[in-house]
Amino acid sequence: NAGVTQTPKFRILKIGQSMTLQCAQDMNHNYMYWYRQDPGMGLKLIYYSVGAGITDKGEVPNGYNVSRSTTEDFPLRLELAAPSQTSVYFCASSYTSGTYYEQYFGPGTRLTVT
Amino acid sequence: DQQVKQNSPSLSVQEGRISILNCDYTNSMFDYFLWYKKYPAEGPTFLISISSIKDKNEDGRFTVFLNKSAKHLSLHIVPSQPGDSAVYFCAAIDGNQFYFGTGTSLTVIP
């Protein structure tokens, strides 16, 4: 099992450009999440999905969009990139049933917007 | 508004001694708590969790304590090992929403 994979690992964007951060998991997890981590801060939830076709906003959704067409993939779209979106982005997945909430994280994508 | 707080940015302990990492929260609706460990340039990895109906959960060298009246949880690592040096995040769950603390960087000195 590869677990949770994220591409790219690094990216530099110019202000106003768009990009998609890719996330895939091969553990057949139903839940998937996108977080961002700013320097010296904890992780902030951007969006999450409880299954294919279902997504919902987290704590900091503005400036982002997601889709979940399959169980395996959960891409994060940035439209009109802004310097405030400079961060490290983590994707995670979990099999949530009852009280089992353990999340598996990908290695992260470091994004710089200049 | 930080609902989960880790007020100690860093902690250093001697190898073999106990490491105690603390976490405070403000939302009484949190029903599940987790600790994660993170090495540089990697994603966090799950360490241990506790339901709000319990006050202690133990897994090997790691024990998490929950004091709901004080809205406080702690992670004890005994004995501490150099490989435990990492950033530790506590997290809390309200429904499907996860809230993370800002992390405590633990250094275990050989």
pLDDT value of position A99: 57
Sequence-ordered list of residues with C-beta below 8 angstroms from that of B42, at least 6 positions apart, any chain: A107, A108
CATH entry, B4-109, from 1.10.240.10, 1.10.287.180, 2.40.50.140, 2.60.40.10? 2.60.40.10
Locate the chain B residue with the closest alpha carbon to A56: B96
Can you tell me whether residue B30 is helix, strand or coil? coil
B97 vs A45, A102, A106: nearest CB: A45
**What are the boundaries of each domain within chain B?**
4-109
- What is the rounded average pLDDT for all residues in chain A? 92
Can you tell me whether residue A11 is helix, strand or coil? strand
Determine which helix (DSSP H) or strand (DSSP E) holds B88, and give its type and residue range: strand B86-94
Q: Quick one: pLDDT band at residue B25, thresholds 50, 70, 90?
A: very high
pLDDT tens by residue, A6-48: 999 999 999 999 999 999 999 999 999 999 999 888 899 999 9
Given an 8 Å threshold on Cβ–Cβ distance, is A33 in contact with B98?
yes
